[in-house]
Every structure is written in structure tokens, then in C-alpha cells.
Structure 1
Amino acid sequence: MISEKARKAMEGIGLTSYEIKAYTTLLVEGALTAQELSIRSGVPYSKIYEVLGKLEEKGWIESDGSRPTKFYPRSPATALEAMKARMESEMRDAESTIVGELMPLYDKSGAKEKPEIWVLRGLHNILAKVKEVILGCEKELLVALPAVAEGMSKQMQPLLRQLREKGVRITILASESTSSEVIKALSRVAEVRFKDSMFGGGVISDSRQVILLLASERMGNEPLAILAEHTGLAGFAREYFNYLWKEARDIDYHS
């Protein structure tokens, strides 16, 4: 009697299959006794009173005082408003109980919520996170490889091949000092351009995760990276990458 979309919507707000059958039958047939409704809806008679009780409790139907009792459908709009008001009331009660009881435990434990930004130190730690971000990419991967990261690029190549096979679009900015061997390998799985004088480098995955790689003499050339799971920062990094890409130089060969 109703579309699959409407059925799923009703199930999504907590109605069972039997409750949906009973209610929609009442909408079409009008007022019915429990026995009549069981026959016309296909809900077993052994279950019909339980189903009617739940529907009445949830505000979808009403009953009169006749013998035998007849059941009437309420307007869907009215039923939804009643259900919404009840759910909001239950949510407020649950929120008060949960926050009141659990927040003191959270505060006492000293636990911290997951941060959006991490600082990574050391090539090993940075490379581990880069691999994790690459493997989680689904649509687009942007990579800026400064000269200091050439060694890292060799370890990334098998992962980049996996992404390419999944249909992920890969774009790479490489330093002109990067070896021709590495450039050829990267060109097989990505679109590559040269860009010198990059301030660090990084990886941007699906405009939601970004790793910014920094290294300078002040840091003693120790690799340092910032990992962010922040769509705003990732979006800004993507815009800057595209700006650099427009200024970059195409390579002369593909293989």
C-alpha cells in the first residue's frame, strides 16, 4: 500500500513491520475491530493486541469504548508531532541523566578528546602516518615532495599504485632535484609537475586530511610534520597546492 521509501522511513523512526501494516490498513479501511484488522492487514491475531497497544502508546491510533472496541488511525502529521515531542522529552531526560552521571567520571579521569591537530617528529613516525593517510584516500590525493622527502617517496610508491588501481586521482608536485628514476616511477601512477622552492611539502587526502612536512636549518634538519583532520585546513591546503600547481613546470616524459 505504500512505497518502499515510506516504509523504510517509518521503520527508521521506530515502527515495526506489523505496526506499519496495521496502521496503513486503518488508513485505507477506516475504523476496524482488532479481529477485522488482523484479517485485512495480515498481522497474526496472536500479535494484534500487542501491535495495537504499541501504536496507541506511540500516538498513531486511537480507540473508542464500543464493544467490540474499534481502532481509528490518527493523521500521520499529528502522529509524527506526538512522536517527535515524546522523543525530544526522552532525549532531554536521557541527556540530563547521562551528563549528570558520566561527566564527573570523564573530568576525574583527565581524559582528553581526540585532537584535530598532531605534531609528528622523526622520519619513521611521519612516514607511518603518511602511509595511513594514503591508504584511507578514496577519491583524490595531492602530494608535494620537496627534495628532503625523496627517500620517503620511494616507500610511498607501492601504496600509490594501489590507489591508482582503485581509481583514485593522484597529483604530485616534485622538486627538480628529484632523481629521474623516482620521477619516472611516480609518472606511472600520477600526474607529475616540477616545482622548486617549495616551503616544505605534504599530503592532502580527499580534502579532509592533511600532513604538512616542514624541515629547516633551525630545526637541525630534523623532519617535522603537522597532521590535521580538519576540513577547513585541508581545504585551504588544497587551494594552495592548486596555486603552486598552476605555476609548476610539466615534465618532458612519461613511461
Structure 2
Amino acid sequence: MDDDELTEVLEDAGLSPYQAEAYVALLGLGTASATDIADASEVPDPRIYDVLRDLESKGYIETFQQDSLTARAHDPQGVLENLRSQSSKYLDAASDIEERWNEPEMTDHEVSIVKRFDTVLKRAKELISSAEQQIQLGVDTEQFRALRSELAAAHDRGVNIKLSICTTPDDDIPDGAEIEGTCTEARHRDIPSPFLVLVDRRWTCFAPHQQSVNEYGVLVNDRTHTYLFHWFFLTCLWEIWETVYTIRTPETPTTYVDLRHAVRDLEPILGKGATVQARVQGYETETKEPVDLTGRVVDIDYTGSSMGRQEPVPLAQLAGRITLTLEADGEVYDIGGWGAVLETIEATEITITDVRYD
């Protein structure tokens, strides 16, 4: 490092330009008079005395009288500690800048682009750990194992979890014992897929699959954008693929976190004259107050519906407005699904408690 570079570093460390120049000159001279230091640096003669006193007060040098004001550099240990401290601050600042850039803070209604998949995975773990109602995810085997402990904890909390495991022909597939306790239902897609985690109808973590040329991620904190990813999950990662694990048995009540799936299954049953009892959990669309209702399903309606259908309707036909009518405690309620606006209640969970044919 030459004199100019060293001077710049000392200025960064807090010295004025004149102080830095005088100190570098004195290091080369050893012990020197004030006038010799001024000659060896670019400090004007009238300023050299003030500059040397300032350096002495900072602990860089000491001065003494010998015919004229003379100075010599102190043992540089204190200076070195100061520079190392400054260096540490710069390194900390650099690390903090990098971390903030890679992991931007998520605020309400925000979509953020990040550079590294590790950032997306870390955020997915945090969101799964705080999930309250439902999780949908499409992952490969390695990613599933990276999230397994968080998924198991969420499952233990009662969170409804739909897991799509997406593999290449060379990938191994987790067996039932490994999947058990981590999800409500799992399906296998034998085609690679982007990494996708949806949490509580609001949060999305997305990254291209590992064979993609570019590495980036998308973090979403917004119900509308997450709804679009939800339809990608339903149509590409879930609907047509084989179920490899489920907690559902003939004895357990059927629970839905998507009104469209519930209506698709209920339409043929109601068409045959069945009486269906259901529990609906969700919240009022206007006040956002939580609701928990139990009653009888008296009607379903959706764009293009035709009650009396004997076979389940394709999911794509349920993409428009859809409403379930529930009679509970002498009142009639219109129940909508994700993003309901016109209905009284947005359902987050629907449990069929009883089906009877009179």
C-alpha cells in the first residue's frame, strides 16, 4: 500500500486529510520537527502545529520541545486496534447489507424478488412454523426433507397440509412412514416442478425448479397474488395426481379447506336427496370476525351449475362464483370460498359431519 492509499484509509478511519498526511509523513521520518513534517507532507506551515496537537490528543503521536516542537509516533497498537475495529464495522455492514438485500422485509401487500433459493427456503420454514389453518406445497424429495420437521410441527397443531411431491425419474420418493405425521394428504407428481409453498391463503414462497437456468425466488404477502398460485397448485400439482398418503378413513369426517372441492363432492349427494350436516369455520366478509357454524347444507350454486348432476363436475367448471347455503340456528347463511366478496362468510374449513338418505 503506497502513501496515498494509506492516507485514504486513515481518513476513512476518522482523521482529517491534513492529520492523515502528517501522520503518514511522521511514520516515515520517525522523529522530526514540525517544520520537517510540514515539508514532508502537504500540510501548510501555519497549520502544522494545530494538526500535530490534534494527532496527539487522538493518541497517534506525542510531542516534545527540542529547540523547536518535535513529534514522534506512538506505539501503533492503539491505532491498529482502532483500524481493526473500523474494519470489523465495515465487514459487519457489508454482511448486513447483503442479508437485507437477499431477505427484504415483507410488509403488507408486497411481492419481493430475491436472488437465492436458500432465502426462499428459510422464509418457507418460518411461515410453516407460524401457520394456523392451511398449507399447500409442491416440493421435491430433498426439499420435503428440509421442511419435514416444520411440517410435522404444523400438522401436530392441526394445520391442514396438502403435500405434492414432484420428482424426476431418478429421484427417490419418500415412503408412507416418512410422510406420515407431516401432512393431511400427499400426492406424487412424476414431473419436476417449481418450489411452491402457500400458507394461510396469504403467503407464497416460489422458486423455479432446480433445472432452471436462473436462480431467483418470489416472496408474496398478498391474498390476491397467492390465490393465483393456489390455482397453479390445484391444476398442475394436485388435481390429476395419485394420492400416496392420506389421513382420511371411512370413519373420519371429511374436511375441506377449499369450497370448490366440497361443492364438487356434495353436488351428486344432494342431487340424490341426501341430508347433509356440515360445520363451517371462517369469518364474516365485511367485519372479518371469526365464525363457527354447524347446520344443514340446503343449496349449492355456481356459474353453470345444474343441481341433480350424478357425477362430480370437473374442477375447472367451478372457477367462477360459487356459493354454499347453510341453515344454522334458524338463520340462512351464504358461504363463499377463498376471496369471497358477495357472500356473508368466507369459509376456511368445511367439515361434513353427517350424510343421511331418508
TM-score range, shorter chain: 0.3 to 0.5
Q: Which has the larger radius of gyration?
A: 2
Q: Which has the higher contact order (CA 8 A, sep 6+)?
A: 1
Greater fraction helix: 1
Instruction: Name the structure where strand makes up a greater proportion of residues.
Output: 2
